Structure 1
Amino acid sequence: MNKLQNFSAPVGRIFLAAIFIMSGLGKITNYAGTQGYMDAMGVPGVMLPLVIILEVLGGIAIVAGYKARIVAFLMAGFSILSAIIFHADFGDQTQLNMFLKNIAIAGGFFLIVAHGAGAYALDNRQTEISQ
C-alpha cells in the first residue's frame, strides 16, 4: 500500500491543481472577458488579479506540496465560493454539474487539509536548521 500511496499523492495533487493553473492562465489571456463576467455575476472585476494569483500560485503550491494544508484550505474555500456564486442555478443541469464539480474539488482539498500533501512534497523536506 505504501508504494500506491507514494504514487497517488503527487498524482492526486497534480490532478487537483491542473484545473486551477490552466484556469488562472486562461484568465490572463482573456482578462477583459473574465473581468466582465465577474462584474455581471456581482463580483467586482478588480478582484481578478487576486483570483489569478490564487489559482496559479495556489495550484503550483499544491503540485509542489508546499504549505499544502494552508493552501488546500484556501483553495477549498475558493471552490465552494465559486460554486455558490457562479453555479447555483440548480434548474440548469450544466450549472448543477459545475456546482457539484466544485464541491468535489473542495472535498479533495479537504483531504489534503486532513492528511497533508503526502509523498514527494516540499512539506516533507527537512531543513538544515532543524537538524
Structure 2
Amino acid sequence: MTDTLALAGRLLLAALMFAGTAQKLASPTEAQALLALASLPPWLIWPAALFTAIAGIGLALGLATRPLAILAAAYCVVTSTFHVLMDDPWQMTIAFKNWVIAGGYLLLAAHGPGRFALRRD
C-alpha cells in the first residue's frame, strides 16, 4: 500500500508541474504580468516552463526524484512570492497553497519515490 500511495502522490505532484507548464505555454501573458509586478523580465517564464516540464517528467517516472522534489519545493516557495498580494484574497490563497505543496515535495524528497519508479533512490 505504501508504494502505491507514493506513486499516486508522485503522479499528483507531477501533474501540478505539467499543469503549470501547460498554463505558461497556453497563456504566458498572465504569468508574465506577475513577473512584471516583481520587476522581473517576462522572458523568465520560458526557463520556468522548461523546469516545470522536466520536473513533471522526472517525478512522474521516478527519475532523480529526491533532487527534483527539493528543487520543486524551492520553486513553489519562490513563486509563492509573486502571489503575495495582500489586497487580493485569491492570490493570497494561491501563495499559501504553494507553501503547502512545497511541503508535499519535501516529504517526497525525504521518503523517496517508492518501489514503482524507474530509478529508486
TM-score by length of 2: 0.88
What do the CA deviations read for 1:25-74 (whole angstroms, capped 9, x no partner)? 22112234533442233221121221001111111111111000110111
1:1-131 equivalence runs, <5 A: 4-84=1-81, 86-124=82-120
Instruction: Verify the 8 A CA contact 2:112 2:120 in the aligned structure 1.
Output: no
Name the SS of the counterpart of 2:119 in structure 1. Answer: helix
Separation (CA, whole Å) in 1 of partners of 2:86 and 2:27:
27
Q: 28-37 or 101-110, which moves further after superposition? A: 28-37
Q: Which has the larger radius of gyration?
A: 1
Taking only the aligned residue pairs, the percentage that are identical comes to 27
Instruction: Verify the 8 A CA contact 2:63 2:119 in the aligned structure 1.
Output: yes
Number of aligned residues: 121
> What is the aligned partner in structure 2 of residue 128 from structure 1?
none
Tell me the amino acid that sits aligned with residue 120 of structure 2: N
Unaligned ranges ≥5, structure 1: 126-131
Name the SS of the counterpart of 1:122 in structure 2. Answer: coil
Unaligned ranges ≥5, structure 2: none
Structure 1 runs of 4+ with >4 Å offset:
none
Name the SS of the counterpart of 1:124 in structure 2. Answer: coil
